[in-house]
Structure 1
Amino acid sequence: MKTKPIVAGILAGATALVGCSSFWAEKAITSSPSQLAIISDVGDAPQRMMLDQNWDDKTRMDFWFTPQGARILPYTWFVWLEQKDKQTLFRSAEHMESLRYLPMAESSANPGGLPIGFTKEVDKDSRTAWMGLNCAACHTNQIDYGDKKILVDGAPTLANFVGFFSELVGALNQTYEDDAKFDRFARNVLQDDYSQSKAKALRKQLGEISFALSERENVNRLPTNYPQDFTSYARLDAFTNIQNAGTAFALDDVTNRNAPIAPVSYPFLWGTHQSDVVQWNASAPNTPVVGPLVRNIGEVVGVFGHLQIKKAPWWQRLFGHDFRYRSTVDMINLGHLEAWVKDLRSPQWLDTPLPPINMAQAAKGEVLFNTHCQQCHQVIPRAREGEKYTAVKTPVREIGTDPDMAWYADNHMAKTLILEGSKEGVLFGSPFGAEAPAIKIPVNGVVGLVLHDPLTALKAGLIPMEDKEKHLSGGSNAETIKSYVQQHLAEREAIAADNAPPPKDGTEQFIEKDLQGLVYKARPLNGIWATAPYLHNGSVPNLWELLQKPENRVASFWVGSRKFDPVNVGFVTTEGLNEFQVLTPAGAIQAGNSNRGHEAGTDLSDDEKRQLIEYMKML
């Protein structure tokens, strides 16, 4: 079944409505944040301790609130939207904290007092303001210890995005359906511009956006045999969300989807720019100039970047342009965000009010780390964190951790539809067949966006680069960016070839999932103490449990608490907002939730494990 051309229609319709009828309201909100706080009473943001991570206050605020082109709904709608079954605002500090986003006070960078990573972006043509997310929403966290709240930039969030989105859709749908709720919403959004005719137009547009977001929720639904809290706090199947943004929405067929059944922990950001590859399965090269740009555009596409791939008009096809690639992605801002991430450094335990490290124990732990851990996890001194490094890629069969993320990243398939017969890399590569690995479709879309606007892409890609002249060829900007795209695609294909299973010779025993060739990336462990829960799928709550024999690790624990456990190094597991279950009710390991594997250090004595943990606090 085909979906309506929702993205274009809704963006245009909301632009017409919000851009004209509520411009005064937007202006009032943005010009008077203190008055907004009085009117809306969203509650106070907590006072937090900031760590020295090589960012000044301006860089930190810029990273938190710079829009990257993700557009969820009109900004004033989100500012005044009430929660479902309540008159309390959706963006209230208490509600955002319950979803484990990080409430913030109003400021010039954040006039609506939205949480960290929730952005305001004004369309340059229509002047419509949109609410969206940027990378800070998923890669900033707070650690609570005693009465101290410690903010860690670049750390994996504890947030529940699926819960947030489900509640947002529910609130929008109820606002559309309930007369009294809609009347409050309309009067707040339209303010002095309110009239019955404009309220009617607003309600129509609200219904259309509610439908579009409900459709997105349905495309990314879990199979009925999975527990409905399967994704929950501190993890998300972002990979499949990105795939579906390409296969189901960019290609305009909501049946062309895969289920997001391999959620992973949000990775920490420090060291991301410096690594030769990114993603848990080491599938994306950090090719100079375009590597980080392609990675970041792909991330935006997965969180409401509104990618569209359409057949080009006949007259464009005469010049070899078969498709039109469109998106709301802001490449220049992505370049700035990457530059800030490049400068980000890991958090240091010694800078916090956490209990002092036992240095004698840590010294013994260093020897144990060098013996049992360093072959996979490099130790990078603080002064060298800005240098490039080559990540260790560990075979999934060898590491033994849950294989689903790596397997589905390679084995999710989708129809190519209008792309069939065209080149996978737009200008490069083999032609698409009727079906292809699902990830290749959003990659095609991202490459199409880069090649569609090579001047902007080159400018954005060069922002984080120190030696910009080194990365400029003697040809045109279009040829320069084209050469980097070609290099990037060649490196992606080389990774895929390296990770491909060898041909069957007829003697290999059949297994349910063929794990040959699949790998997970082993990163340096700088700041590892601030990144619980552990393993790529968040199935182990703390470092102490990670050092237990896999079969003896806890099979259930609470997630969502910010209270830090400095002894076991992670968050407390006896309280929280959702219970993580390794096992199904029948006692089998839940697919995607395995806590097995990663046996390094598990043969040590308890005293040696404590020594190793003390040392890892130093990293």
Structure 2
Amino acid sequence: MTSIFMRGAVLALGLFCVASHPVSAQEIVYADQGSDWNATTRTLYYTQDQGSRLIALSWMQALKQPDGTSFLADGLQRYGYLPMNGPSQGLPVGFPVTGAAPQQMVGMTCSACHTREIAVSGTRYRIDGGPALVNFHGLMVDLNTAAQAVATNAAAFDSFAKEVLGTQYKDPNSLSWLKTEFTLWAQRFDAIVKNGVPHENWGVGRLDAVGMIFNRLTGLDIGPPPSNLLVANIQPADAPVRYPFLWNAAIQDKTQWPGFAENGSDILGLARNVGEVYGVFGEFAPKKEKWSLLGYDYLAGNSVNFSGLSTLEGLIKKMGPPKFPFPVNQKLAEKGKAVFNQPGNNGCADCHGIKPGQPRLLNSTWATPLLDVGTDSRQYDILNWTAETGVMEGARIPFAHDTLGKTASSLDILTVSVANSILQYYGSKLFDLREDAQTLLAAAPSVLGDMADLPEARLPGTLQELKLAFPKSRGDNQKLMTARATDGSTNFKYESRVLQGIWATAPYLHNGSVPTLEDLLKPAAQRPTQFAVGRDYDIKKVGLAATQTGLQSTTVTTGCDQRNSGNSRCGHEFGTALPDSDKQALLEYLKTL
């Protein structure tokens, strides 16, 4: 398969009850995010390729909406994506184009999902690194509809081919190549959209990232060629969460909403980001190779841009939390600071203050406490998915005396895919994996029976940290990702992050089930049972405005009796017993962080 063939898929999400009207605010003000964050760093953040390969640019330009207009007619702004300044091939922020014509590819980068705008009094405020308010589900479903209209209709394909091929349309070889490649791409894309994106849509600004990473990796990459599909591995991704914010992400000592991934060093950050690339359309096609000490070639057909990911992680380190751009009652905020720092359930600093975290090699970190505070539990169901291993059956789990069986934890498959790709990329720079394998086999084949002698044991300390990157369900360093004990008790822990910039990240809780910070200070039973999600902001309540005028969806929440719904507003009832005056003071202080 050529480079133009997509091997990626979605982190996907859903949307329902959507209204898409132009946002009335026209003026854009960029939030102050520190002296290191400027127009240069911002532009690089918006455009840096990370290895995602969604679709060929010429294909996307030739696809049509149901009314016959170009799929790119509005630069995807109808889904909430933000327009780029300057040449962009008609694509929005976070959709870079890579490669040379005629095989240029459209991908995604982290800014597509982690850049937001809020609207207040006719002005739009741009917040880089903020959780995007986008309809990713709508984009995926509509793109698939457009693709299937071409793939299943001869006349539509003929028109499509004329636009894509231009003067080469009359060349039978070019036409045959396009038919083969597009049909295969459309088959794979249709498989993950129809089987992985849940019918009950998730809404603006939410997605089941972990579920769709598992789906894309196990469903599209490790099956038999030419399609590489294992459709049975694709499951409805029905644990919606809010996009996290990115500032300070590099210095958390744990990451991901359930905190299952160790973090805080460059190599652990790389593991986090390689997994993200595999989830947003990265190409990955592992192949067995007996001359490799890893047993597989994880880089052939792998589109991850390791250098680009390093650049993006460096940019995240420069990105400061956004400063509140509106007036603050400083006297009231000082009172709120005292409330924030008081000990006990009415205070915040015990969980959300800045404290030293787990030391990493050459790096200091902030502590990221993991606590079960009664919030929605659905993501733990996803973390315990299993899948057929396909071509990766027998692949070694890195840093463990174990291999993948015929079926395995989806998290183990991700661990093997990410860690071994990194080990091969950096290990090959330190020693020749293939040459070492040949030498070992020639000298004493039995040597390979001792997995402790395999490559990762000889890597420097910076790469040894990879053993911390993900929990493992089997083998050495086992850290089973489960919240259910043998006695039937549960412990659904999620991360407690430092709250700098928290004012800009509504809706709240990990699953986006509470619209404002004011509502979060109410008992779960008094929080809204439904609310609109969109750009319009309420700076008094600190969060989403009750009435939305642009792209929006309606989130319907459940109570504590349905904690595993994916939409539970239950939990985190800290501060709910405070006097109203203390609550108002605390809200004012949170604006200053």
**Fold match, TM over 0.5?**
yes
Matches within 5 A, 1:284-363: 284-286=261-263, 288-312=265-289, 316-317=290-291, 320-326=293-299, 327-349=302-324, 352=325, 354=326, 356-363=327-334
Deviation digits for residues 445-488 of structure 1 (CA, Å, limit 9, x no counterpart): 11221122226889xxxxxxxxxxxxxxxxxx988756444332
Deviation digits for residues 479-528 of structure 1 (CA, Å, limit 9, x no counterpart): 87564443321464599639766964xxx4x4xxx523x42110010000
- Structure 2: any 5+ residue segments left out of the alignment? 8-24, 224-229, 356-362, 431-454
- Match among 59, 73, 90 for residue 113 of structure 1: 90
Amino acid at match of 1:571: L
Matches within 5 A, 1:128-527: 128-178=103-153, 181-182=156-157, 184-195=159-170, 197=172, 198-199=174-175, 201-222=177-198, 228-229=200-201, 231-252=202-223, 253-286=230-263, 288-312=265-289, 316-317=290-291, 320-326=293-299, 327-349=302-324, 352=325, 354=326, 356-371=327-342, 372-379=347-354, 388-396=364-372, 399-405=373-379, 407-425=380-398, 428-454=400-426, 483-490=461-468, 492-493=470-471, 497=479, 504=486, 508=487, 510=488, 514-516=489-491, 518-527=492-501
Pair 1:410–1:211, CA change in 2 (3 A): closer
Deviation digits for residues 542-598 of structure 1 (CA, Å, limit 9, x no counterpart): 111111111110011112x211111111122333532111149xx956711100100
- Structure 1: any 5+ residue segments left out of the alignment? 1-8, 16-44, 381-386, 459-476
CA contact (8 A) 2:394 2:403 kept: yes
Report the count of equivalent residues. Answer: 526
Q: Which residue of 2 aligns with 1:86?
A: 67
Pair 1:546–1:183, CA change in 2 (3 A): same
Amino acid at match of 2:507: P
Is residue 51 from structure 1 mapped to residue 31 from structure 2 by the alignment?
A: yes
Q: Identify the range of structure 1 (74-83 vs 59-68) with the bigger mean alpha-carbon deviation.
A: 74-83
Pair 1:410–1:87, CA change in 2 (3 A): closer
Matches of 2:148 and 2:484 in 1, distance apart? Answer: 50
> How far apart are 1:193 and its partner, in Å?
4.1
Pair 1:395–1:580, CA change in 2 (3 A): same
> How far apart are 1:606 and its partner, in Å?
2.4
Pair 1:80–1:388, CA change in 2 (3 A): farther
> How far apart are 1:412 and its partner, in Å?
1.6
Pair 1:169–1:361, CA change in 2 (3 A): same
Higher helix share: 1
Amino acid at match of 1:291: L
| Structure 1 SS opposite 2:298 | strand
Is residue 74 from structure 1 mapped to residue 46 from structure 2 by the alignment?
A: no
Task: Give the percent of matched residue pairs that are identical in Structure 1 and Structure 2.
Answer: 31
CA contact (8 A) 1:10 1:209 kept: no
| Structure 1 SS opposite 2:349 | coil
Amino acid at match of 2:53: R
Is residue 549 from structure 1 mapped to residue 523 from structure 2 by the alignment?
A: yes
> How far apart are 1:153 and its partner, in Å?
0.3
Pair 1:481–1:533, CA change in 2 (3 A): farther
Matches of 2:111 and 2:470 in 1, distance apart? Answer: 26
Q: Which residue of 2 aligns with 1:97?
A: 77
Deviation digits for residues 383-410 of structure 1 (CA, Å, limit 9, x no counterpart): xxxx9433332332xx0000122x2254
| Structure 2 SS opposite 1:574 | coil
> How far apart are 1:275 and its partner, in Å?
1.1
> How far apart are 1:268 and its partner, in Å?
0.2
> How far apart are 1:104 and its partner, in Å?
2.2
Q: Identify the range of structure 1 (590-599 vs 266-275) with the bigger mean alpha-carbon deviation.
A: 590-599
Matches of 2:233 and 2:429 in 1, distance apart? Answer: 29
Pair 1:309–1:502, CA change in 2 (3 A): same
Pair 1:10–1:539, CA change in 2 (3 A): farther
Amino acid at match of 2:244: P
| Structure 1 SS opposite 2:555 | strand
Could you say what the CA RMSD is over the residues aligned between the two structures, in angstroms?
A: 3.1
> How far apart are 1:378 and its partner, in Å?
1.0
Amino acid at match of 1:102: L
CA contact (8 A) 1:71 1:130 kept: yes
